[in-house]
Amino acid sequence: MSHKILFIDDEINSLKTISAILKKHNYTVITAQTVEEGIVQLRKHKPNCILLDYRLPGMDGIEMLRWLKQENITLPVIMLTAYGTIEKAVEAMKLGAFHYLVKPVDPDLLLETIREAILKHETFSYQPNISHKFPEIIAKSQAMKEIFYIIDMVADTSSNVLITGESGTGKELVARAIHRLSKRKDRSFIVVDCTTIPENLLESELFGYEKGAFTGATDKKIGLLELANGGTVFFDEIGELPISLQKKFLRFLQEKEIQRLGSINKIKVDVRVIAATNRDLEKAVKEGTFREDLYWRLNVVRIHLPPLRERKEDIPLLVQHFVQKFAQENNRPIPTLEPEVMEVLINYEWPGNVRELIHVVERAVILSTSGVISFKHLPKRLLGQKGEKEILPTDTFNLLEMEKTLILKALNETGWNQTKAAQLLGISRKQLRTKMKNHGLLPVSSIKDEEEDEEEAS
Ligand SMILES: Nc1ncnc2c1ncn2[C@@H]1O[C@H](COP(=O)(O)OP(=O)(O)OP(=O)(O)O)[C@@H](O)[C@H]1O
Ligand SMILES: [Mg+2]
């Protein structure tokens, strides 16, 4: 049975051309020229998806979104407009639109978006428990369960995925899960961290170059995108991709072809792109530091990881999991938690999210030798009213102590994001890590973890 699409637009030309494309791809199209007429058709035909023009005579697209919301109708809506402005798009998305496309619409992008919208909607209507598919992601909250569905649904497609969320919420973990559940799982998963590769090297790192392409190119080099052929490339901190490279990157996403620097040959590459950011990309678009067209290309499937403080149900499960893990790793019996300790852990705001929780639990397991974890094994910032006051030494002039305090302050302020903390302190990330190591602020396991990460990224 073909899916039904309700298409509301007042421009006859647009109605005709887009309907023709949809019909060619086996969709049943119901059209309307006003929202009012669209609502009548909606009740009569029960479509699977709505394509909605933004500017309409009478009620406009935004008003229709409000109406749908009011009526509790959860159909996926894709907004279309001739006047692409990010403000309108954000408003539409906030009102629950699935996606926002600028006219003239690229037919491939439109079809891809419709497919995702319908798939997502159908999957949500029927939700068996699929947590067992994600043994590495510890979670039981409704928000995370919905994320499991999205991962499960998109893993096997080739759609680009944009993962957003604060630092330490598990963006990379989710990206790896998508790769693991895809047909590409036996091919490579390459991490490109846009913050650690210097801007002038990024282009040649990504696209590669021919011998003699520039002074110093003594041999040819295969770029990361070509190396990843058949696999997945994870662009971490995509918001930091220099504007000078964004156009070229967009072209790559559209054509799925690369050209090594200094070469005229185009090479087809089949890679799945997953991008992540903890920055507000919509804001970056508004400010002109991120291309809008690239944003919409990447944003076909969006996974937003809510901060841990908005899914507190996950905290006890995470704590138990990591208590057990670190006890086993350290050959200790599994300690129990005093009930008040769990209460503190649940009530804490977790600016560094799951990453911070893991650090706190590891520290507590190591410090507690009696088999019970109590208040004294928790860092002061979890107990005090104002963490900041507590860690500022009032009577020390010891330089090393002061340094440690400042580092902790910077880490706390940035949710334990080392890149940002280093920026705040005016030192390199590497210098920061060395200092953290000297002050005993890096758990051994994380040093190992991150070194592996860095190897993969390089
Ligand atoms: N739900 C979870 N279950 C188990 N481990 C988790 C979960 N969420 C995050 N983690 C762990 O927390 C750490 C941080 O996660 P990850 O690196 O994926 O975060 P991120 O969102 O990419 O952070 P950043 O923006 O700082 O790069 C990792 O060690 C990851 O394995
Ligand atoms: Mg990350």
Residues 405 and 266 in one domain: no
Under the banding of pLDDT at 50, 70 and 90, the label for residue 389 is: very low
Determine if ligand 1 sits within 6 Å of the CB of residue 260.
Answer: no
The pLDDT, as a whole number, for residue 7 is: 97
Determine if ligand 1 sits within 6 Å of the CB of residue 250.
Answer: no
Ligand 1 centre distance from Cα of residue 312 (Å): 16
Lowest-pLDDT range of 135-144, 261-270, 406-415:
406-415
* Ligand 1 atom nearest residue 137's Cα: 3
- Identify which has the larger pLDDT, 380 or 8: 8
Nearest Cα residue to 164 out of 313, 51, 290, 321: 290
User: What pLDDT, in 10s, does the model give residues 102-129?
Assistant: 888 899 999 999 998 888 787 666 566 7
Residues 141 and 186 in one domain: yes
Residues 170 and 274 in one domain: yes
Question: Per-residue pLDDT for 302 more than 80?
Answer: yes
Residues 365 and 422 in one domain: yes
Question: Per-residue pLDDT for 100 more than 80?
Answer: yes
Nearest CA to ligand 1 atom 9: 170
Residues 215 and 156 in one domain: yes
Ligand 2 centre distance from Cα of residue 384 (Å): 29
Residues 81 and 211 in one domain: no
Residues 158 and 302 in one domain: yes
Substitution candidate for ligand 1 out of 173, 323, 419 with most atoms within 8 A of CB:
173
- Indicate the number of domains in the chain: 3
Give the Cα separation of 97 and 444 in Å (integer). Answer: 45
Share of the chain above pLDDT 90, in %: 60
Nearest Cα residue to 180 out of 91, 274, 252: 274
Boundary residue ending a domain (109, 125, 141): 125
Lowest-pLDDT range of 66-80, 96-110, 123-137, 243-257:
123-137
Nearest Cα residue to 445 out of 365, 367, 329: 329
Substitution candidate for ligand 1 out of 131, 161, 172 with most atoms within 8 A of CB:
172
Ligand 2 centre distance from Cα of residue 368 (Å): 30
Question: Per-residue pLDDT for 136 more than 90?
Answer: yes
Determine if ligand 1 sits within 6 Å of the CB of residue 274.
Answer: no
The pLDDT, as a whole number, for residue 124 is: 63
Q: Are 193 and 172 in contact (CB under 8 A)?
A: no
Residues 111 and 95 in one domain: yes
The pLDDT, as a whole number, for residue 394 is: 53
Determine if ligand 1 sits within 6 Å of the CB of residue 355.
Answer: yes
Determine if ligand 1 sits within 6 Å of the CB of residue 297.
Answer: no
Q: Are 89 and 100 in contact (CB under 8 A)?
A: yes
Of the listed ligands, the closest to the CA of 320 is: 1
Residues 270 and 148 in one domain: yes
Question: Per-residue pLDDT for 395 more than 80?
Answer: no
The pLDDT, as a whole number, for residue 444 is: 54
Q: Are 67 and 40 in contact (CB under 8 A)?
A: no
The pLDDT, as a whole number, for residue 47 is: 93
Lowest-pLDDT range of 281-295, 320-334, 373-387:
373-387
Ligand 1 centre distance from Cα of residue 382 (Å): 20
Ligand 1 centre distance from Cα of residue 167 (Å): 8
Domain extent, residue 387, equals 310-457
Ligand 2 centre distance from Cα of residue 360 (Å): 19
Nearest Cα residue to 355 out of 174, 180, 166: 166
Ligand 1 centre distance from Cα of residue 358 (Å): 9
> Is residue 372 left, alpha or beta, with left meaning phi > 0 and alpha meaning psi from -120 to 50?
beta
Residues 263 and 358 in one domain: no
Boundary residue ending a domain (250, 271, 306): 306
Instruction: Starting at the earlier edge strand, list the strands of the sheet with 232-236.
Output: 189-193, 232-236, 272-277, 161-165, 301-305
Lowest-pLDDT range of 125-129, 195-199, 430-434:
125-129
Under the banding of pLDDT at 50, 70 and 90, the label for residue 25 is: very high
The pLDDT, as a whole number, for residue 451 is: 42
Under the banding of pLDDT at 50, 70 and 90, the label for residue 363 is: very high
Question: Per-residue pLDDT for 169 more than 90?
Answer: yes
Q: What is the mean pLDDT of residues 217-232?
A: 94
Q: What is the mean pLDDT of residues 171-175?
A: 98
Residues 158 and 300 in one domain: yes
Nearest Cα residue to 169 out of 24, 437, 322, 356: 356
Average pLDDT of every residue of the chain: 88
3-state secondary structure 114-159: HHHHHHHHHHHHCCCCCHHHCCCCCCCCHHHHHHHHHHHHHCCCCC
Could you give the 3-state DSSP secondary structure of residue 339? helix
Q: Which of 94-98, 189-193, 377-381 has the highest mean pLDDT?
A: 189-193
Substitution candidate for ligand 1 out of 142, 174, 354 with most atoms within 8 A of CB:
354
Buried b (16+ CB within 10 A) or exposed e, 332-353: eeebebeeebeeebeebebbbb
Share of the chain above pLDDT 70, in %: 91
Angle in degrees, 0-180, between the axes of helices 61-70 and 35-45, rounded to the nearest 10: 40
Question: Per-residue pLDDT for 445 more than 60?
Answer: no
Under the banding of pLDDT at 50, 70 and 90, the label for residue 342 is: very high
Question: Per-residue pLDDT for 69 more than 70?
Answer: yes
* Ligand 1 atom nearest residue 163's Cα: 21
For the chain, the 3-state helix, strand and coil shares in percent, each to the nearest 5, are 50, 15, 35
Q: What is the mean pLDDT of residues 321-335?
A: 94
Lowest-pLDDT range of 171-185, 363-377, 384-398:
384-398
Residue 271 maps to which CATH number? Answer: 3.40.50.300
Question: Per-residue pLDDT for 63 more than 90?
Answer: yes
Q: What is the mean pLDDT of residues 285-298?
A: 92
Ligand 1 centre distance from Cα of residue 428 (Å): 22
Determine if ligand 1 sits within 6 Å of the CB of residue 139.
Answer: yes
The pLDDT, as a whole number, for residue 431 is: 87
* Ligand 1 atom nearest residue 358's Cα: 12
Residues 341 and 437 in one domain: yes
Q: What is the mean pLDDT of residues 255-264?
A: 94
Residue 381 maps to which CATH number? Answer: 1.10.8.60
Q: What is the mean pLDDT of residues 450-456?
A: 41
Residue 31 maps to which CATH number? Answer: 3.40.50.2300
Question: Per-residue pLDDT for 180 more than 70?
Answer: yes
